[in-house]
Structure 1
Amino acid sequence: MNTDSELLAAIAPTSGPTREVHDPATGELVGTVPVEGAAAIDAAVATAKGAQPGWAALAHDQRSAYLLAAADAVHAAAEPLARLLSREQGKPLNGPNARFEVGACEVWLRAAATTVLEPEVLVDDGESHAELHYRPIGVVGAIGPWNWPMMISVWQIAPSLRMGNTVVIKPSEHTPLSVLALVHVINSALPDGVLIAVSGDREAGARLSGHPDIGKVMFTGSTATGKAIIRSSADTVKRLTLELGGNDAGIVLPDVDPTAIAEDLFWGAFINTGQTCAALKRLYVHEDVYDAVCAALTDYARNVPMGVGLDEQNVLGPLQNRQQYDIVASLVEDARAAGARILLGGDPDADAPGNFYPATLVADIADDNPLVQQEQFGPALPIIRYATIDEAVAMANGVDVGLGASVWSADKDAARAVAQRLQSGTVWINSHGGLNPMVPFGGAKQSGYGMEFGVEGLKAVGSPQVVSS
């Protein structure tokens, strides 16, 4: 595929009800997608179930070879995939955005293909021998989000296929074209029936999470939807991996150089225009450096270009959908009304096309303000002043989610000591949100359960079996 138009033609619906998808930056029509329901899920699951025994019968190195071929296919189609992603999701081509996301798809495919998972010898004492193996589960149901639709789909697809499962994936209703195109490209390298995408509505998602022939559900999205999936999976006791909402805290210790950390703080918070589960969403800054950190962040943020994603100079884009735009705008206005100080932004052009909300920094805000306590999932960062480490840790831990967190300090030992007190699945030191395909990732508290990436991620999409002799 040489262009995004060719990709769209390859995945265009041929019959049945359809829905238009529009560019959140311009409002222009991007393409149309099928609107499929429970019947389409049933058909896809039946096909995947039929293909699974043959796929599982292949040796690990044979399945790995297929995944490496799929990574090659993604690499070859990288530019049209990135352009389609930019048009549908809104993220710019450059910066940590569309081209970055497609590149990550290739990286995670290769990582899943080449990660070794050997049987673990549990007992070997001369009298008995026990080993722990991981077998395929069967059919995995994957339900993805709209913020990183391609990359997170690969996080679900690649390890599942590597372990001998087949996959039925339902993309978000906001970003179906990206995932349909990605699956089309990946399937050019795979046997028929092992990976099937269904562009559906809520009925399709509910059927997928409750289908009796689905052995595991992988979901990335809101905590509320995750709870609904837990309930619908109960009757068939499905395995689950849930990466749910986050409201990540960062704690800045008083020994930092504010200018030196400003760029990394900004991108920790504003990557993908703030639409990232593990983005920095609450920044706690010691009173000794509070004003200097606010000033350094403001100086950096005011020079970051925002605009239409296909314009090469932009690195911040629109909110993907108007509903999310309205949430961010409401939270900022409520903070302003409560007396918070807007350092930058907070003044969207209501007459401009697209869902553009400016990069916004909010200072002198109370910890109990909704902008701090609720996940804003957009380009608005509250900056909260603190006096003692105990106070900062208590505020950071004071929400019911715990996906990621970060500590910023010139003294890494001091930062690690604070990190060990934080209730989150990952804590970064002097950065925020960076992921590695070999480093396990998952949440604490109501940010979900189950691990992704590396050896632990492969285990999560396998069924453990102990063989004793």
Structure 2
Amino acid sequence: METFHLLIDGVAQAGEAGDFAVLNPATGDAFARCPAGSLEQLDDAVRAARAAFAAWSLSSASTRRTCLNLAADDIEREAADIARLIVQEQGKPLALAMSEVMGAVAWTRYNAELKIPVELIEETPQQRVELHRKPLGVVASITPWNWPFMIAVWHIIPALRAGNCVVSKPSSLTPLSTLRLVQILDRHLPPGVINIVTGEKGLGSAITTHPDIDKIVFTGSTPTGQSVMRGAASNLKRLTLELGGNDAAIVLPGTSVEAVVDDIFNAAFLNMGQTCAALKRLYVHESQYQAFTQALAERAGREVIGDGLQPEVSFGPVQNAEQLALVSELVEDARRAGATILCGGERLAGNGYFYPPTIVADVSDGQRLVDEEQFGPVLPVIAYHDVEDALKRANRSSMGLGGSVWGTDVVKAQALAARLQSGVAWVNCHAQIQPNTPFGGCKMSGFGVEFGLDGLLEYTGQQLLFVRKAQST
């Protein structure tokens, strides 16, 4: 097995709390061991970041840009090895893992080139007023298991570009590709600017209450996000929370089934449905309900399920046993309530956590599969009679990450999408994200944004510079 290490103040370290197994979800077996850091090592990492901040916060934009672009070069050069590591720890097919790595390269390069503006508020003969943006200090990144490399880049790179120092804490289910990312970044950064501490329990809560951490950026479930927020109150840490989503899509009457079925399927089953902004509830007009459910079931049948390292595989396992159990439980609950399982609906035999793409018909709001975020390879399809009623049902969720409207009349679809209660609304697409477009949720899906200049500025604080000009005598 490959040996992995923590990185604190530029020094590779073993975990003082021992190590733990990392499982391959395609087999259910351990394929690597990861160091388990102690709370004392977390303190060491925060102290190292705090010490490094004094110089890094004063570094030039050119210096930061150069460091990040050099790291992007290395990520791209090592992309094949990183992608294989992602497949082993996360389960997604190799082609999707390679897309994750190359997407991370693009996000790194984009953020490296961003400029942090100085806003001129007022200029008169008597005074000049400017709004400056300054780095916050020590940023803690807590990342989930679904896109372990990409989301770590989303957190870490803008934090560094803004002049902060970082302590990374990845999911204990998928820590290895993030360890590799931090190792690459450390090659091009002063010691202490980037640090990583991995472990199974206790580190996350210690981060939320740590008095020397200035900001936390967290991607994960809503209950855990609430816990992060409570802990962060201890020293009023800045927060960016990208939490759960139960994204609804409304298909307007008259929409061509053939034109949109592939896009809808891919939006729902991206990464085996394990994506916060995946399409998770599909509302279809009753006049086309049977046509859509049948087309989606047929499309699901074309997926090749298996170990993501096999070249023919297009659909991998659920990442962990706990998530697999939840997916199974929600489908069984729908089945008991009279739902029709058009395809899938049962865990596949074997040791891996395989669950086939599953289309569920004859369900409605009020059932768990519709009301809860399944975060797995299942799509409930709900019939509606009136578009206004479909909108009300889509907006009834306590979550508000994304949503979409599909239809041939783009003007009508756009008008309806604008009324979705979601941080992002798409028309004739879903879960489309770009480095230059701000992304974030509302309601119980969190607050703050990532990506673009708005996302970069989340890692800064404001300072108003008010200059009274010298008066002539």
TM-score > 0.5, shorter chain as reference: yes
User: What do residues 74-117 of structure 1 show as CA deviations (whole Å, max 9, x unaligned)?
Assistant: 001100000000000111101xx211111111111111101122
- Secondary structure, in 3 states, of the residue corresponding to 1:167? strand
Amino acid at match of 1:389: V
- Secondary structure, in 3 states, of the residue corresponding to 2:98? helix
- Residue 235 of structure 2 corresponds to 236
- Residue 223 of structure 1 corresponds to 222
Q: Is 2:128 the counterpart of 1:122?
A: no
- Residue 9 of structure 1 corresponds to 3
C-alpha separation in 2, matches of 1:441 and 1:125: 37
Amino acid at match of 1:418: L
Deviates more, 1:231-240 or 1:193-202: 193-202
Alignment of 1:80-159 (within 5 A): 80-94=81-95, 97-159=96-158
- Residue 25 of structure 2 corresponds to 24
List runs of 5+ in structure 2 lacking aligned partners.
Answer: 7-12, 468-473
Per-residue deviation at 1:255? 2.1
User: What do residues 263-306 of structure 1 show as CA deviations (whole Å, max 9, x unaligned)?
Assistant: 10011000000000000000000112111111221121110112
Per-residue deviation at 1:126? 4.1
- Residue 282 of structure 2 corresponds to 283
- Contact conserved, 1:144 with 1:152, CA < 8 A, in 2? yes
User: What do residues 354-378 of structure 1 show as CA deviations (whole Å, max 9, x unaligned)?
Assistant: 0001100001102111000000000
C-alpha separation in 1, matches of 2:166 and 2:70: 17
Q: Is 2:195 the counterpart of 1:201?
A: no
- Contact conserved, 2:5 with 2:35, CA < 8 A, in 1? no
C-alpha separation in 2, matches of 1:302 and 1:15: 45
Q: Is 2:453 the counterpart of 1:455?
A: yes
- Residue 33 of structure 1 corresponds to 34
Per-residue deviation at 1:11? 3.9
C-alpha separation in 2, matches of 1:286 and 1:132: 50
List runs of 5+ in structure 1 lacking aligned partners.
Answer: none
- Contact conserved, 1:71 with 1:109, CA < 8 A, in 2? yes
- Residue 74 of structure 1 corresponds to 75
Per-residue deviation at 1:192? 1.5
Per-residue deviation at 1:186? 2.2
C-alpha separation in 2, matches of 1:459 and 1:182: 23
C-alpha separation in 2, matches of 1:122 and 1:312: 57
Alignment of 1:340-379 (within 5 A): 340-349=339-348, 351-379=349-377
Deviates more, 1:200-209 or 1:122-131: 122-131
The ranges of structure 1 where at least 4 consecutive aligned residues each deviate by more than 6 angstroms after the TM superposition are none
Alignment of 1:257-272 (within 5 A): 257-272=256-271
Q: Is 2:432 the counterpart of 1:434?
A: yes
Amino acid at match of 1:438: N
- Residue 337 of structure 2 corresponds to 338
- Secondary structure, in 3 states, of the residue corresponding to 1:235? coil
C-alpha separation in 2, matches of 1:122 and 1:201: 48
- Contact conserved, 1:328 with 1:377, CA < 8 A, in 2? yes
- Contact conserved, 1:219 with 1:242, CA < 8 A, in 2? yes
Amino acid at match of 1:297: L
Per the alignment, do residues 230 and 262 of structure 1 end up closer, same or farther by CA in structure 2, a change over 3 Å counting?
same
- Contact conserved, 2:15 with 2:37, CA < 8 A, in 1? no
Amino acid at match of 1:423: Q
- Secondary structure, in 3 states, of the residue corresponding to 1:218? strand
Per-residue deviation at 1:452? 0.7
Deviates more, 1:39-48 or 1:298-307: 298-307
C-alpha separation in 1, matches of 2:37 and 2:412: 53
C-alpha separation in 2, matches of 1:129 and 1:392: 52
C-alpha separation in 1, matches of 2:322 and 2:395: 28
Per the alignment, do residues 63 and 458 of structure 1 end up closer, same or farther by CA in structure 2, a change over 3 Å counting?
same
- Residue 43 of structure 1 corresponds to 44
- Residue 471 of structure 2 corresponds to none
- Contact conserved, 2:4 with 2:35, CA < 8 A, in 1? no
- Residue 394 of structure 2 corresponds to 396
Amino acid at match of 2:381: I
Amino acid at match of 1:221: G
- Contact conserved, 2:4 with 2:176, CA < 8 A, in 1? no
C-alpha separation in 2, matches of 1:106 and 1:126: 46
C-alpha separation in 2, matches of 1:245 and 1:373: 12
User: What do residues 218-247 of structure 1 show as CA deviations (whole Å, max 9, x unaligned)?
Assistant: 000000010001110102001000000100
TM-score normalised by length of structure 2: 0.95
Amino acid at match of 1:320: Q
Per the alignment, do residues 15 and 298 of structure 1 end up closer, same or farther by CA in structure 2, a change over 3 Å counting?
closer
C-alpha separation in 2, matches of 1:311 and 1:186: 30
- Secondary structure, in 3 states, of the residue corresponding to 1:57? coil
Per-residue deviation at 1:14? 4.0
- Secondary structure, in 3 states, of the residue corresponding to 2:373? coil
- Secondary structure, in 3 states, of the residue corresponding to 1:134? strand
User: What do residues 368-427 of structure 1 show as CA deviations (whole Å, max 9, x unaligned)?
Assistant: 110000000000000000011111111100110100001101111111110111100001
Deviates more, 1:34-43 or 1:422-431: 34-43
RMSD: 1.3
- Contact conserved, 1:74 with 1:186, CA < 8 A, in 2? no
C-alpha separation in 2, matches of 1:306 and 1:250: 26
- Contact conserved, 2:218 with 2:241, CA < 8 A, in 1? yes
Deviates more, 1:16-25 or 1:144-153: 16-25
Per the alignment, do residues 75 and 117 of structure 1 end up closer, same or farther by CA in structure 2, a change over 3 Å counting?
same
User: What do residues 45-83 of structure 1 show as CA deviations (whole Å, max 9, x unaligned)?
Assistant: 001111111111111121111001111110011000000
Q: 2:466 aligned to 449, 460, 468, which one?
A: 468
TM-score normalised by length of structure 1: 0.96
C-alpha separation in 2, matches of 1:14 and 1:209: 23
- Residue 406 of structure 2 corresponds to 408
C-alpha separation in 2, matches of 1:363 and 1:405: 20
Amino acid at match of 1:218: V
C-alpha separation in 2, matches of 1:14 and 1:165: 25
User: What do residues 146-172 of structure 1 show as CA deviations (whole Å, max 9, x unaligned)?
Assistant: 001110011000000000000001000
Per-residue deviation at 1:15? 5.6
- Contact conserved, 2:3 with 2:33, CA < 8 A, in 1? no
C-alpha separation in 2, matches of 1:83 and 1:250: 33
